[in-house]
Amino acid sequence: MQAPAGPPMYGMQGRMMVAPRVQGHLQTLGILWCVYGVYRAAAGILAVLVLAGISMSGRLGEWGGPNDLFFLPHASWMTALLPVVVVYTLISSAFSFVTGFALMRRLPWGRVVAIVMGVLALLKPVMGTALGIYTLWVLAPGASGVEYDAMADRG
């Protein structure tokens, strides 16, 4: 009886041959983290523009004037929120880029940073959750750590 045709199998885990998970997904994962960094930066810029527009629109007209919406006259606190959004955007985008760069360059500390960022990304709905699950699926198992360390030592 012949073995079923399929992708080449490299390592043994129990009785079953297992293809290297990290090697096949590491480049894609690094690129996705860089794309996620661009997405986070764009979302942060959009948030800053919206907050700036809301905080400025309350100053354009008088109370009850045509420029007032139901909450804009009371939105002066949003001006104080602008620096927080800018700093959060810069930090989250920078860490996403660093994670992607470390994975693509196979830096020894890249796996740990990616796992931490993957866990944090789980809190961001849809894109962050998907990227976090994919990151943890590729890098979290113990066999993935051994494989990543071997790749980092070679590269």
What whole-number distance in Å separates Cα of residue 114 and Cα of residue 30?
9
Share of the chain above pLDDT 90, in %: 50
How confident is the model over 2-43, as pLDDT tens digits? 544 444 444 555 555 556 788 889 999 999 999 999 999 999
- What pTM was computed for the model? 0.76
Alpha carbon 69 to chain centroid distance?
A: 35
Residue 72 DSSP symbol: G
Query: How confident is the model over 89-116, as a mean pLDDT?
Result: 96
